[in-house]
């Protein structure tokens, strides 16, 4: 099933659990900080990058225009 045409690295497969745990803590604390900051009105909406999420709504409107 898995097409392993390159070596993914065993260490890399194992380390992901730790990476994910650390990332989880970081994201959780960032979210918490964000909520606190926005509660006090300290959040600046300044983001020149697209968000990580893909807009599927967009897709549907594009389809209609085609």
Partner 1 sequence: MTKTNNIHEASFRDPSGYMFHDGGTLRRVINPIYFPQYRKLTESGFYKTLINNNLLISHKETSVSEEKIVITPEKIPFIINPYEWCFEQYKQAALLTLKIQKYALSKGFILKDASAYNVTFHKGKPIFIDTLSFDFYEENTPWRAYKQFITHFLGPLVLSKYHGTDVFKMLQTHIDGIPVKLIASLLPSRSKLSSVLYTNIHLLAKMESKHSEDYNVETKITKLSKKAHNNIIDSLFNYIKKLELKEASEWGDYYTKTNYKADAFEKKKELIRQWVLSLNPQKLIDIGGNDGTFVRTVKDKVPFILVTDIDYNAVDNNYRQVKKNNEENILPFVCDILQPAPGIGFNNTERNSLIFRLKEFAPDVTLALALIHHITLSGNVPFEKSAGFFASFSKYLIIEFPTREDSWVESLLIRKREFINHFDFYNETNFEIAYSNYFDILEKQQIENSNRIMYFLKIKNA
Quote the least distance from Cβ 9 to partner 1, whole Å. Answer: 4
Quote the least distance from Cβ 7 to partner 1, whole Å. Answer: 9
The correct pick among 2, 39, 41, 45 for binding partner 1 (CB under 8 A) is 2
- The token pair at 34 is 């964000």
> Is residue 64 a contact residue for partner 1 (CB under 8 A)?
no
- The token pair at 58 is 């967009």
Using left for φ > 0, alpha for ψ between -120 and 50, and beta otherwise, residue 55 falls in beta
Residue 44 sits at the vertex; the CA angle it makes with 53 and 48, to the nearest 5 degrees, is 45
- Binding residues for partner 1, per CB under 8 A? 1-6, 8-27, 30, 49-50, 52-56, 58-59, 62-63
């Amino acid at each position: 099933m898995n097409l392993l045409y390159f070596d993914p690295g065993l260490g890399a497969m194992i380390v992901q659990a730790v990476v994910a745990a650390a990332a989880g803590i970081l994201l959780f604390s960032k979210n918490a900080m964000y909520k606190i900051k926005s509660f006090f009105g300290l959040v600046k909406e300044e983001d020149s990058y697209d968000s990580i999420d893909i807009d599927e709504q967009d897709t549907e409107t594009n389809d209609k225009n085609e």
